[in-house]
Amino acid sequence: MGEKEIPQSHPRYNSLMQRARIEKGVRLGITHLQGLIAQGRGEAYDYLLGERTIASAREAIRAAAAQLLIASHPVLSVNGNVAALCPEAIAELSNELNCAVETNLFYSGDERKRKIVEHMKKYGVDLLGVGAEKKIPSLDSKRAAVSEEGIWKADVVFVPLEDGDRTEALCAMGKKVIVVDLSPRSRSARKADICIVDNVVRCVPLLIEEIHMLKNENSESLQKIVSSFSNKRNLRESLNFMKKQL
């Protein structure tokens, strides 16, 4: 079913829309086939959240907003699932932060990268990442390629649906890493400085709102928000919420 055929009255409208977007992403060649599996895994966790943004995720979103506002060179990383699911919100977030956006993929493919660049152009985003010239240490070559003006230089990287290895490697480079992952048990969730346990589709618009709200705060109070955030505690709260749902 295509996006336009899904009736808004359908009780599972949002979930069906996401499926339709991912399916279209695969057809357009921007989303890897494995992206379908990742979406299914995400859906299962989202079900346990009641498909809504829970209080602990809101706290993580606030910390992420503060961390991005403090950053001197924040960068947003986009993969095949994110490009398909919420290109509009990524475009808005990059405008809000006036920051670079880079395509960085788990399943390598220069052709797919080029398609993602073309796709994001339609939303007004000029992506970095094609012909990336720098290498993240300790990752295998293709996955390690990052752009000098993007992730390489970044002090804060926002990487929705990231893998644990890269999260760890980026942290080891001294960067602050913010991930979005519906699974609080995933390695990237545990390795990140801030993990937002929420659906990327709901989380990015809320992150933009929070950035609006915190924009005029001074760096001291932003730093306070970041310092008082504990990723470990926050993940435990998300997991406890899910357990109760069961």
**Residues in touch with ligand PTJ (CB under 6 A):** 32, 34-35, 38-39, 41-42, 45, 79-81, 85, 105-107, 161, 163, 180-183, 186, 199-201
Handedness of CA 89, 94, 97, 103 (dihedral sign): positive
Nearer to ligand PTJ, 220 or 232 (CB): 232
- Please provide the DSSP assignment of 155-207 as one string: SEEEEET--HHHHHHHHHTT-EEEEE-S-TTSHHHHHSSEEE-S-HHHHHHHH
User: Closest distance between ligand PTJ and the C-beta of residue 199, in Å?
Assistant: 4
> CA 82 to CA 179: how far, in whole Å?
12
Report the C-alpha gap between 115 and 47 in whole angstroms. Answer: 31
Q: Return the SS3 of 78.
A: strand
Least separation in angstroms between CB 224 and ligand PTJ = 27
Query: 107 or 123: whose CB is closer to ligand PTJ?
Result: 107
Look up residue 118 and give its two tokens: 């073309």
The two structure tokens encoding residue 15: 């979930």
Question: Which residues neighbour 111 within 8 Å (Cβ) at sequence distance 6 or greater?
Answer: 29
Of all residues in the shown chain, the one whose CB is closest to ligand PTJ is: 42
For residue 233, the minimal CB distance to ligand PTJ (Å) is 20
Minimum CB–partner distance for residue 30 and ligand PTJ (Å): 8
Whichever of 77 and 222 has its CB closer to ligand PTJ, that residue is 77
Instruction: Give the shortest CB-209-to-ligand PTJ separation in angstroms.
Output: 18
